[in-house]
């Protein structure tokens, strides 16, 4: 039995266990995440950085991640570290209390978190650690709609002609230098699938293979098959190549067609694309999204 005093100085996991109800919740945690930050109300803390240590425990609602082994079904650790960095990047703050509150509220805007424990400690302001710790739950939330700061990407559909062009490497160089959030879709020249489930799977796996072939030719191109990884790539400057089989086969509203152009139009809506560039092939239009046919040499 933990006393109030021992609980006050225990780790966050111990406090979460002690505060659990009859049915303990699943918990996701990030501990001892150290970042150099300019923060503090004292003049001596202005114009310099100091180390902050972040420990966050998030209690989550029931989910199927353990059964599906699917990263899209769980709260990603990246969600926690991104919440920390988003609040640090937003503005300079004086108080750890303010920072902890904003991190907790940002996490609670996501659908799965039910309760959040946040501990922040200054490591350089004395002989020991100086910190704050808060616990927040959904009772203070006005809704579950959160801030999604994933940028709207440009989808670039690379036709078989573009893939064979000697200028493709230069084009990828340019994409890397421009830093515009981009997802590549690679034309796989897929056969028209019959109504059979095996034929549909084979066609989509061929599309995945086309993405991996591009990665083999240019290591900057990273095949990605889940929405979680795609969002991370868009936020972190990764040049992702869509490997479509998982998203298409898991979706209830995906086209039955295995024509990759049809799938690209559907995918553009899933990722809230702002534009589709059809490189080396005719454009396919979709309401609400700019669509343009271009030749590779026109982009260089």
Residue 293: is its pLDDT beyond 70? yes
Tell whether the torsion through CA atoms of 211, 216, 218 and 223 is positive or negative. Answer: positive
What number is the average pLDDT over the span 13-39? 82
Q: Quick one: pLDDT at residue 6? A: 58
Q: Quick one: pLDDT at residue 295? A: 92
Tokens of 108: 């609670």
Tokens of 17: 């266990």
- From 147, 90, 95, select the one nearest 120 (Cα to Cα): 95
Q: Quick one: pLDDT at residue 191? A: 65
- Cα 191–242–108 angle (5° rounding)? 140
Cβ 175 vs Cβ 220: under 8 Å: no
Q: Quick one: pLDDT at residue 294? A: 93
Confidence of residue 144 (pLDDT cuts 50, 70, 90): very low
Q: Quick one: pLDDT at residue 69? A: 82
Q: Quick one: pLDDT at residue 212? A: 96
- Beta partners for residue 278, in sequence order: 157, 293
In eight-state DSSP terms, residue 189 is -
Residue positions annotated with a catalytic role: 45, 122
pLDDT 10s digits, 61-84: 876 677 778 888 788 899 999 999
pLDDT 10s digits, 233-285: 998 899 999 999 999 888 878 888 888 999 999 999 999 999 999 999 999 99
Tokens of 231: 């969002």
- From 261, 293, 286, select the one nearest 190 (Cα to Cα): 261
Q: Quick one: pLDDT at residue 146? A: 44
Tokens of 87: 């609040």
pLDDT 10s digits, 91-136: 899 899 999 999 999 999 988 899 999 999 999 998 899 999 999 9
- CB atoms under 10 Å from CB of 51, counted, come to 13
Q: Quick one: pLDDT at residue 193? A: 59
Tokens of 291: 């669509």
Cβ 79 vs Cβ 107: under 8 Å: yes
Has this prediction a pTM greater than 0.85? no
3-class DSSP state of 89: helix
Q: How far apart are CA 136 and CA 101, in angstroms?
A: 8
Q: Quick one: pLDDT at residue 5? A: 53
pLDDT 10s digits, 145-155: 445 678 899 99
Q: How far apart are CA 49 and CA 89, in angstroms?
A: 14
pLDDT 10s digits, 82-96: 999 999 988 899 899
How far is CA 260 from its chain centroid? Answer: 24
pLDDT 10s digits, 267-280: 999 999 999 999 99
Q: Please name the residue that has the structure tokens 């991104």.
A: 82
3-class DSSP state of 32: strand
Q: Quick one: pLDDT at residue 182? A: 95
Kindly report the average pLDDT of the chain as a whole number.
87
Torsion of CA 10, 14, 19, 20, to 10 degrees: 180
Q: How far apart are CA 241 and CA 215, in angstroms?
A: 8
Torsions phi, psi of 189, nearest 5? 50, 55
């Amino acid at each position: 039995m933990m006393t109030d005093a021992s609980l006050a100085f225990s780790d966050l996991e111990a406090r979460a266990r002690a505060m659990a109800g009859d049915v303990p919740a699943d918990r996701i945690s990030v501990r001892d995440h150290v970042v150099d930050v300019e923060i503090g109300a004292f003049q001596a803390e202005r114009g310099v950085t100091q180390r902050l240590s972040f420990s966050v425990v998030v209690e989550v609602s029931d989910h199927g991640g353990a059964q599906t082994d699917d990263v899209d079904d769980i709260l990603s650790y990246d969600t926690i570290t991104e919440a920390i960095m988003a609040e640090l990047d937003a503005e300079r703050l004086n108080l750890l209390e303010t920072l902890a509150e904003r991190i907790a509220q940002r996490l609670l805007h996501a659908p799965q978190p039910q309760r959040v424990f946040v501990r922040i400690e200054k490591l350089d302001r004395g002989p020991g650690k100086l910190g704050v710790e808060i616990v927040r739950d959904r009772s203070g939330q006005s809704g579950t709609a959160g801030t999604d700061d994933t940028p709207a990407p440009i989808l670039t559909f690379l036709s078989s002609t573009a893939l064979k062009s000697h200028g493709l490497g230069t084009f990828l160089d340019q994409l890397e230098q421009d830093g515009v959030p981009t997802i590549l879709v690679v034309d796989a020249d897929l056969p028209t699938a019959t109504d059979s489930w095996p034929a549909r799977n084979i066609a989509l796996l061929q599309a995945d293979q086309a993405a991996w072939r591009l990665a083999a030719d240019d290591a900057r191109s990273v095949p990605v098959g889940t929405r979680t990884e795609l969002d991370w790539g868009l936020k972190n400057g990764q040049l992702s190549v869509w490997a479509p089989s998982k998203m298409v086969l898991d979706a209830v509203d995906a086209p039955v067609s295995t024509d990759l152009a049809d799938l690209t139009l559907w995918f553009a809506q899933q990722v809230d694309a702002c534009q589709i560039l059809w490189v080396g092939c005719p454009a396919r239009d979709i309401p609400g999204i700019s669509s343009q046919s271009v030749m590779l040499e026109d982009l260089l």
